[in-house]
A = this chain, B = another copy of it.
Amino acid sequence: MTSGNGVAGLLLPDEVLVVDVGPRDGLQNEARPVSAAEKIALINGLARAGIRRIEATSFVSPKAVPQMADAAEVMAGIDRVAGVEYAVLVPNVRGLERALAAGAGIVNVVVVATETFNHRNVNMSVAESMAAFDTITREARTAGVPVSAVLGAAFVCPFEGSVPAEQVLGLVEQFAQTGITELTLADTIGAAHPAQVARLVTAIRERWPHLALGLHLHDTRGLGLANALAAVTAGVTRLEASVGGIGGCPFAPGATGNASTEDLVFMLEAMGVHTGISLEALIAVAQSVPAIVGHPVSSKMLAAGPPRPAPPAKTQT
């Protein structure tokens, strides 16, 4: 951590890992079916733009999530760009085995923080999911593939409302006992606010200072980048967003999806927080997204572009 190039008031890190989850979380919440070829082109574009971790797909049941039925085909078709981590979501041991066979670089495994939402998600109690997490983690470790733990609905549950910090800390303790080294707090329905983010991140970092913390951002209510700001000032080193801001929220029909990766990268780079990503190349990828999803997207950088000095004024003083 530095003081952000002499910036008063904001304590900023030198760099942040920006993860694009558009190919998985974004597309999964879009109505239009997207071909494997389109997904492969999107993932390759993101990798070439400098995104260093991409959530490429999900090895879930094709019956449950038909949009991700082509997971193996996508993983087989993508370029493996040096320095890029290709992460996938797996819900269970069967998904892990498919992911390992497909050459996944990292497996993301979710436990949802509340009983109601977790049960609706996977028909298990939180304790059962945590036990399954432990099993998956052991098997992945044996295979030499790192697990990234995800705590779903870590801030607000669509069924139970605001999630008490004590409840989250108890689950982080259980995660920590499995030997994980990184954890993502997911604002699954885009209802967290910056003070809640800062408070929870600070509390986790006090008790588990060696756990690398990420924040999975949704922009359902417009707070995605404000939450990102609160997160990085509190010590989060990884932020998850989607190119074009694609995706949505099953609990808020008509709402926007993940925070836009290009808006996030613009903010971070403008503040001197290094991402390693070419904003220009990323915007070029984002320009391909409306055709893929079949509608305009919420990305602001796509509409406005980076600020540039305008042509010389006609009237100069």
Residue positions of A touching B, CB distance < 8 A: 4-5, 7-10, 12, 115-120, 123, 125, 156, 158-161, 189-191, 193-196, 198-199, 201-203, 219-223, 225-226, 228-230, 233-234, 249, 251-252, 254-256, 260, 263, 266-267, 270-272, 299-301, 303-307, 309-310, 312-313, 315-317
Contact = CB atoms under 8 A, between A and B. Distances in A.
Contact of A158 (B267, B309, B316): B309
Nearest to A220: B304
Contacts of A313: 116-117, 119-120, 159
A228 B194 CA distance: 11
B9 A198 contact: yes
Question: Chain A binding site: helix, strand, loop or mixed by DSSP?
Answer: loop
Contacts of A303: 252, 254-256
B271 A194 contact: yes
Nearest to A116: B313
For A194, A201, A300, A313, which residue has the most chain B Cβ atoms within 10 angstroms? A194
Of all A-B residue pairs in the complex, the 3 with the closest CB atoms, nearest first, are: A9-B198, A222-B300, A191-B307
Contact of A256 (B230, B300, B317): B300
Contacts of A234: 8-9
A193 B303 CA distance: 18
15 contacts: A9-B201, A9-B234, A119-B316, A120-B315, A159-B309, A161-B309, A189-B307, A193-B271, A219-B300, A220-B304, A221-B263, A222-B300, A225-B226, A254-B304, A255-B304
Contacts of A158: 307, 309-310
Contacts of A307: 156, 158, 161, 189, 191, 221
Contacts of A159: 309-310, 312-313
Contacts of A115: 316-317
A200 to B, nearest CB: 9
A240 B12 CA distance: 26
